[in-house]
Structures are given as structure tokens and as C-alpha cells.
Amino acid sequence: MPTIAISGASGKLGGATLSALLAHNLIPASSIIALTSSPPNSSTFAALAATAPGLQVRHASFEDLPSFEQALHGADRFFLVSTPHIQLDFDRLVQDDEKKEKKWVEVPDGQGRERHHRTAIDAAVKAGVKHIFYSSLAFAYSPPARSGKRTSKAAVMRAHLRTEAYLARLRDEGTLENVTVIREGLYAESWPLYLGYFAPDGDGDDGRREVEVPLAGDGRASWTAIRDLGVANAVVLAAAESGEFGNRMFYLSTRARTAKSMAEMAGLVGAARGRGISVRVVGRREHERYYVEERGLDAAAVRWWASTYEALEEGECEVDDGMLEELLGRVGVKPEGVEEVVRRMVKG
């Protein structure tokens, strides 16, 4: 029985994966190591320990390689759930001395969120972990007919692509035996973020009957419930033969035929709320101006997120990979549709 370590086990994705491992009896609790950056005397630590008798809980922080190395001792497989510290990815505003003005500069490779991931990966190598599973993101999709490497227009994907490249390098040079890259579908639950930072409980529309959401673009995306991502991750992690998913990259996502544009998502939310909610495509410059100047959001964060809409319009998130359905089928679970998720969030 392999021992599996999971980072971000107290979070949404790691937590859904941990729950699914236990709920579907895929692996005994005593063979799971739940990692948390919280200290042993914290409530997070205690809550994780209370999840199941025998579950091992260990402290590991992306900011502290030795803590990660120590926590991974004895683990055969490591599920690296990507870091939530998105601010590491934001372009920096620096002074251009020649032009005597400030300009935005992209974070160099190794200094964005990939820095946290490299720490965890280097620690895993030192601790002798044989197989790393990395939770990447479902952008940059290429249909098999147009196979070949595709880059992404989305800044949110940059750290993932850099991390994937780092893992490939370690595997190619023989430092790591087995790498599995899981491009996790866009959370169905994350529609408020895509829909102009909308508040599902009603704050986003000030109680108005008709709401228009300005966005930089309106492409379609395949939306996937977090619970289903957790179940599919769990099936992959617990596979009897490590080789079944070894040295592969695949998407976990609902199929392209059910993909929805932001305008369609607005329609679903509007129907659930009994309001008219629509999308107005305004282009990137106006999008940034509106959310920074009129909504008061942080300029670096808005700038980082705005490129997502260009990626959606390019079809990067119209994913058509049957892997999610296949994996869920192994434990008798059917994917939850985005319509159900929206209703659950808006009514709940």
C-alpha cells in the first residue's frame, strides 16, 4: 500500500481529494499524510487530525524547504496542490529611468508561484519520493486533432507551465522517476470571479433587477465541480499501479459540449436569482480601468486576471478529455453539472 502525502489538505481541492480517498475507501487513513503550513497547535492542524483516525498530519510550508523535506519522509507519492499565493505572479511596477515613468514588468521564471512549487518538488526529491502528481490548471487545451504544445494567453497559467517544465526537466535528467501532471478543470464554483468578481449572495448587483457585467472577453469554458475534481484526483493517486498514470499529462474536466460562455453563465445566475444579468464585452483596457477605478480593486491583481478573458476567447478552456468521466465512473460518481452548482451556490 503506497503512502500518499497531500499538500493544501485543508483547502478546497486538497480537502476534496482527501475526503474522496477516505469516503471511497481508496486508501486507509494511516497511509495518508495531510500537509499543512499551520503549526501543530493550530485549529487547522487539529481539524485535519480529526478527519479520520490514523491520518497523519504534518507541518510543511512552501516558504521552508526543510519543513517540507521532513514532512515528506516515508511518502511514496506526493500530490502537490498548487500554492494559493497568487500575488507572487503579479507583474511588478518598476521605474523606467530612460522614459522617466513606471512600467509593468513580468515576474522572471523562478520567482512567481513556481518558486513555491519548486521548493516542494526539491524537498520531495531530497525525501526520496518516487512519484509527484502536480495539480496544474485546465488552460492551454489543444484538441488531439491539433495536438502539439500550446502556450497560454492567461497569466494565471504561467506558473503552472513553468512548474510543468521544471518537473519535465527533473524527470528527463533522471532526478525524478515518475511525474503526473493533472490539469484541473476550472472550478464550476469559481464563476463569481470570472463574472466580474460577482457576489453570489447578492451584493454584486446592489439589489438592481438588471445588471450588466463588463468583461474583457466572452469565451466558453468547461466548468467542473470541485467535488468531482477531488474524486478523480483520489482515484488517480490511489491507483494500484503507480505506472498507470505515470509520466502523463491529462485534463480533468467536463466535456466541451457542455462548455458555457460568460454570457451563458450570467444567464444561469440571473435565472437562479430572478434577475436580468448580462455581459458586456468591453475589451481589456476598459475592463482594467473599470475594476480598478470604479470598483477599487488592486491594479496588479486586475491586470493579472484580465488576460484570462483573452485565453477564454482563444478556446483554451474548451476542454474535451474523457478522463474525468472515466475516473468518476470507476467509483460510481456522475459529474455535477455547472447548472446544479450555480443553483446550489445562489440558493444556498
Ligand X SMILES: NC(=O)c1ccc[n+]([C@@H]2O[C@H](COP(=O)([O-])OP(=O)(O)OC[C@H]3O[C@@H](n4cnc5c(N)ncnc54)[C@H](OP(=O)(O)O)[C@@H]3O)[C@@H](O)[C@H]2O)c1
Binding site for ligand X (CB under 6 A): 7-8, 10-14, 36-38, 44, 61-63, 81-84, 135, 137, 184, 186-187, 190
Give the DSSP letter string of 228-271.
HHHHHHHHHHT-SSGGGGTTEEEEE---GGG-EEHHHHHHHHHH
Residue closer to ligand X (CB basis): 211 or 225: 225
Taking alpha carbons only, the member of 315, 347, 346 closest to residue 192 is 346
Cβ at position 332, least distance to ligand X in Å: 24
Residue closer to ligand X (CB basis): 67 or 178: 67
Cβ at position 289, least distance to ligand X in Å: 25
Residue closer to ligand X (CB basis): 119 or 178: 119
Judged by phi (left if over 0) then psi (alpha if -120 to 50, else beta), residue 228 lies in alpha
Cβ at position 59, least distance to ligand X in Å: 9
What does each C-alpha distance from 113 to 81, 89, 153, 262, 340 come to in angstroms? 12, 6, 17, 27, 32
Q: Residue of minimal CB distance from ligand X?
A: 11
Residue closer to ligand X (CB basis): 211 or 231: 231
Cβ at position 103, least distance to ligand X in Å: 27
Residue closer to ligand X (CB basis): 13 or 176: 13
Work out whether the CA dihedral 155, 159, 160, 161 comes out positive or negative.
positive
Residue closer to ligand X (CB basis): 14 or 217: 14
d(CA 146, CA 254): 19
Taking alpha carbons only, the member of 36, 236, 37 closest to residue 135 is 236
Cβ at position 257, least distance to ligand X in Å: 20
What does each C-alpha distance from 207 to 83, 195, 204 come to in angstroms? 35, 17, 8
SS3 295: coil
Instruction: Say how far residue 288 (Cα) sits from the centre of its chain.
Output: 23
Cβ at position 241, least distance to ligand X in Å: 27
